[in-house]
Amino acid sequence: MYFPLSWSGRQYLVLEGYPGDTYSVPFSVSRYEPIDVTSSSAVKAKTNTATALIVQTKTGMVRSSSLGAKTVKSVAPELRLEKLTYRSATEAKAARQKFEQSSATAYVEYDMPIQAFGADAFKKHQWSLLNTGQKKGLKGADIGLTAMQKRIAKKKLSTTLVAVIDSGVNPSYADFAGKVRMDLGYDFVNRSKTAWDDYGHGSHVSGIIAAGTDNTYGMTGINAKASIIPIKVLDENGVGYTSDLVSGINHAVKKGAKVINLSLGGDTSSKAVESALSYAKSKNVLIVAASGNAGKKALSYPARSKYVLSVGATGRTDKRASFSNYGTGLDLVAPGVSIPSYLADGELAFASGTSMAAPHVAAVASVLYSLKPSIKATDVENILKKSAKDLGSKGYDTTYGSGRLNADRAASYIK
C-alpha cells in the first residue's frame, strides 16, 4: 500500500480483525536522503545572492577590518574562523575580493546552504542486524550484530559519546531513555541549548546507533553503551549553512565525542569544513561520512575528505545500492536499504540512503571505543577496514572499498 507524498490532510488505514488482535504496520519512505551540500551548479547560482562570508585569519595575524559587515560572529575560535554578514550580495562580493587581497587572510569563502538530500516489535525487520534471507535477501548479508553481542556480553563496556551532527534528536522516545545527552548538545540553527529534532533525519540516524535493546518498545540500536550528542545544523525544512556545520564539528570535539556521524553529502568542497575536520582528527576523533546518493562514480564531500571514513550503502543481497556513490577514496560499505528507525514525531519508518549506512559504521566504531576507551581513532579505522567482509573484486576496490561492515570480526580485534 502506498500513500503519495503529495497528498494532504489525514490518510487512514482500516484493519479488520477480532477483539484482542494486534498489528505491527511499519510504513516506508522510499528514499530518505542524506544531507546534501548544494551541487556545483546550484552553488554557482547561490553565490550571486550570498550575503555572508567565512574568513580564516592566518596564524599570528589579526584581521584589520570587517569591511562594513553588518554582523560578525565567531564560528570556531580554535580555527580562527568568523562569519561576516553583509547587507547585500554586492557588498559581500566586494568584501570577499578585498579579503582575498589581504595578507592576513588564509582563505575566504561564501557561507553556502546545506540541506537534506534517508524482542522489539520491529527487530524482525532489521535485516541489517540479522539477515535470515527475509524478503529475498541473502542469508548472512548483515553486520553480524548477534554474534558481536555474544562475544562482548561478559566484557566491561564504557559509555562512548557519539555526536550526530544533523537535524537534532527527539529525546522523548522510550527507546532513547538515558541515551541522548541534550545537556551536551546544541542547536546552531536557533542558537538554543536544546537540539530538538523538527525534521526527522537526526532521530532516524540516532536510532540506528543507540536505540534501546530488547526493551519491547520499537527497535534495536547497535551499541547499548552509546550516548548521543545531538547537534542541530538543519532547520525544520532540512536546510542549514556551512558555518553551522563547522561550528557543530568544533562543538562535538569540545564536548568529548569519540565518534562524529556526518550523514552529509554534496559536490562542493569547503575549506572551512576541511579545517574543522582536520582539527577533529588532530584531537583523535573518528569522523564517519556518507558517500552520497547520486549513484555516481565519485564521492560526495565531505566523504572524499582525507580526514573522514567514507561509507557507501548495500542492500539485502550484499550488492551496492543503486543510489550509493562509489569511487576512489571509498573506505567501507554498510547496509542502507529499507532501514527502520525513528522520525521526529516518534513514528518508525523504513528509510534508504547512505545516511542510514554511515551510522551503522559509527555505531560499531563506538562499540570498539566502549571496549577499549584508550584506543586511537586511526586504530579503530584500521580495524573496521581489515575486519570488513570482502565484496566485489578481491581486496580493495572502488565499488565496495575494503568491504561490508562486520561488527563481530571488528570486536574480535579488541583483546
Which CATH number applies to 48-111? 3.30.70
Indicate where the chain has its CATH 3.40.50.200 domain(s): 115-412
DSSP codes, 96-165? HHHHHH-TTEEEEEE--EEEE----TTGGG-TTT--SSGGG--TT-S--HHHHHHHHTTS----EEEEEE
Write out pLDDT tens, residues 220-230.
Answer: 889 989 999 99
What is the per-residue pLDDT for 389?
Answer: 97
Query: Is-above-0.95 flag for pTM?
Result: no
User: What is the phi-psi region of residue 304: left when phi exceeds 0, alpha when psi lies from -120 to 50, beta otherwise?
Assistant: alpha
For 84-94, letters b (16+ CB in 10 Å) and e give bbbeebebbbe
Assess whether 166 carries a catalytic annotation. yes
Strand, helix or coil for residue 176: helix
Overall average pLDDT of the 24-37 stretch: 44
Per-residue model confidence as pLDDT tens digits over 50-84: 899 999 999 999 888 999 999 999 999 999 999 99
Question: Which of 36, 120, 166, 197 is labelled catalytic?
Answer: 166
pLDDT higher at 127 or 253: 253
Alpha carbon distance 260, 331 (integer Å)? 16
Structure confidence at residue 41 (pLDDT): 39
Ranges in the chain annotated CATH 3.30.70: 48-111
Catalytic, out of 111, 197, 198, 201: 201
- The CATH number assigned to the domain with range 115-412 reads 3.40.50.200
Closest CA to 407 of 374, 377, 371, 363: 363
201 flagged as catalytic: yes
Which band of pLDDT confidence, cut at 50, 70 and 90, is reported for residue 308?
Answer: very high
Active site residue 355: yes
Of the candidates 167, 310, 324, 355, the residue annotated as catalytic is 355
